[in-house]
Structure 1
Amino acid sequence: MSSITRNIFGTINRTINYWYIPLVVGIIFIATGIYTFVSPLESYAALAILFSISFIISGISEITFSLLNKKLLNNWGWFLALGVLTLIVGVLLVINPAISQATLLFYVGFLVLFRIVSFH
């Protein structure tokens, strides 16, 4: 048996040992989906908070990425601008959660639109 074959079978055996992980994740997703249908307002509030935090983390990571790679990237300024914009949107959403729930769709829509335009 070759080294590659043993490596593949070893990977499969290790994967099979943890078969319950996708089952647990699936049960959590099903429970989350049921909770979303039962209480949509609370779910939307939680989603607004989750998006706010993810925008802040994404903005900080994009700013860091652009500054660390400015010698390697030709258009590093666009990455920096997008990171600053994402960070500002995240901070605005965290500052006022009531307004963020009402305007979350617009923030997400305009941010995605800006991303599409900036990379083409």
Structure 2
Amino acid sequence: MALSDQPADVSEFRSKWGWFVALGIALLVLGVVAAANLLVATVASVYFVGTLMIVAGVVEIVHAFGVKGWGSFFLWLLGGALYIVAGYLAFINPLLASAILTLFLAASLVASGVMRIWMGIKGRSVLNSWGWIVAAGVVTVLAGLIIAAGWPVSSLVVLGTFLAIDLIFQGATYIAFGLGLRRVS
């Protein structure tokens, strides 16, 4: 397929293939650094979540003043204030926040794994791949149970591990995407 036969977006991206590769390399390096320093990566994750909570709280408080006439001003204001307090507490005690977030992650994994298992079993009459769905659910439940079994000690490294793995996979994906764009003729 010639470059002129492709959508304009692909040709525009093709000229930037090097930027995708550079971004991929940067993310890959950050992922390796995070993997080498899991505790630091965990704290960085908590600070990121804390920052998002503070920003969300400010936005919710601003929103409260925008909907004063709705009769729920104080609920919006309280919700925003609680978000800000929670974000602040994440900065004050990141290890406690990581323990709470890790426990929440473990519970979420167990719950989503159970849902996958249930969906796979429920859909076995119409899905040929229902066994894969059930298997994925079992792996997700096991991951959640392993994290929960190691809690609270696991909270020192779990979030950092997830961050490192995500950065490494994102980096590899951008590198592959950029090199794929370079090969497009």
Q: TM-score, normalised by structure 1?
A: 0.66
2-structure distance, mates of 1:80, 1:101: 30
In structure 1, the gaps of 5 or more residues are: 1-15, 114-120
CA contact (8 A) 1:66 1:79 kept: yes
Structure 1's 107 and 78: CA in aligned 2 closer, same or farther, altered over 3 A?
farther
Aligned partner of 1:39: which letter? N
CA contact (8 A) 1:94 1:100 kept: no
- In structure 1, the partner of 2:126 is 72
Greater gyration radius? 2
- In structure 2, the partner of 1:53 is 107
CA contact (8 A) 2:98 2:155 kept: no
In structure 2, the gaps of 5 or more residues are: 1-69, 170-185
SS where residue 48 of structure 1 aligns? helix
CA contact (8 A) 1:89 1:107 kept: no
Q: What percent of counterpart residues are identical?
A: 26
Matched residue count: 97
Q: TM-score, normalised by structure 2?
A: 0.45
- In structure 1, the partner of 2:154 is 99
2-structure distance, mates of 1:49, 1:57: 12
Q: Output the aligned Cα RMSD.
A: 2.5
Q: Deviations over 1:31-90 (max 9, x none)?
A: 110110111111011111111111111111111111011123342222111101100001
Q: Which stretch of the first structure deviates more once superposed, 57-66 or 16-25?
A: 16-25
Q: Which has the higher contact order (CA 8 A, sep 6+)?
A: 2
- In structure 2, the partner of 1:37 is 91
- What is the CA distance between 1:104 and its match in structure 2? 4.1
